[in-house]
Amino acid sequence: MLTILFDGVAYGMLLFVLAVGLAVTLGLMNFINLAHGAFAMLGGYTTVLLMQRLEVPFLICLPCAFLVSAALGAFLERTLYRPLYSRPHLDQVLFSIGLAFMSVASADYLMGSGQQNIQLPEWLKGRTELGEDPWTLGMGHYRLLIILICAVLTIVLQTVLTKTRFGSQLRASVDDPVVASGLGINVNKVFLLTFAVGSGLAGLGGALGAEVLSIDPIFPLKYMIYFLIVVSVGGTSSITGPLLAALLLGIADVAGKYYVPKLGGFIVYSLMIIILLWRPQGLFSRGNK
């Protein structure tokens, strides 16, 4: 049972890294980006290609995936996303669905419709078991690594957002772009950087999760709803909200699939609707904006 909990936490952490970029664009910049999964998929494919074709070690693939996705994110932000910040939500939804569709078809064209798997290095394949039988805690080393990386990332992000100069600039730009630029903050640059980092993190998540999430062309649509759940349930006022929501979702999903495999998705979606009806602004947000 503890093993399921552990796997759930690992899965939740992974979802958090994947979705945290969305939490920023959607939560802070108020842009509904349904194409977020495309950046994650890009990261996943980058890893797959690097490992299969060039035999690059797994750990070096991770920063590469981050950089590739971040670069694409920056490029798209500059060219396509920026004019849409001030547009109605309907436009943003349509635009990002279009982008997601295009990424699905392109991935299918370039990589084939099959699932891509990666070969994990030997030292990640092991498994450590602790405790006695009903309470055995089996920790796969790979999942341990996921938890570790994600925990570090969370702390770094939280620190950057709350403690650094860039964090304050970002919060100022979000609260009131006009005043922020009046104070000499280059709002466009702040948004560009934020968007790129968000996309990069999604790419990193895709790379990290290449083994558990199975990278295939419909990835952006398959996981879109999960990212959105993390952000909308977690609320958008802090980093900890999405983190807790991601953990909750990860544990609920893993446990649901283990105990009642037939009703897995059903439970998750129903929970989401109930939570959103109960607290439309998100579970962990403090009051209305």
The residues binding another protein (CB under 8 A) are 26, 32, 80, 83-84, 87-91, 93-95, 97-106, 108-109, 221, 225, 228-229, 231-232, 262-263, 265-266, 269-270, 272-273, 276-277, 280-281
Q: Which two tokens stand for residue 99?
A: 């982008």
Closer of 59 and 273 to another protein (Cβ): 273
| Contact predicate 34/161, CB 8 Å | no
Closer of 81 and 142 to another protein (Cβ): 81
Helix (H, G, I), strand (E, B) or coil at 164: coil
Closer of 93 and 148 to another protein (Cβ): 93
What is the C-alpha to C-alpha distance for residues 138 and 30, in angstroms, rounded to an integer?
Answer: 40
| Contact predicate 85/29, CB 8 Å | yes
**CB 272, min distance to another protein, A:** 5
**CB 100, min distance to another protein, A:** 7
| Contact predicate 47/61, CB 8 Å | yes
Phi/psi of residue 260, nearest 5 degrees: -125, 75
At a CB cut-off of 8 Å and minimum separation 6, what does 256 contact?
Answer: 263, 264, 267, 268
Closer of 140 and 220 to another protein (Cβ): 220
**CB 277, min distance to another protein, A:** 6
**CA 143 from chain center: how many Å?**
16
Closer of 26 and 153 to another protein (Cβ): 26
**CB 111, min distance to another protein, A:** 13
**CB 281, min distance to another protein, A:** 7
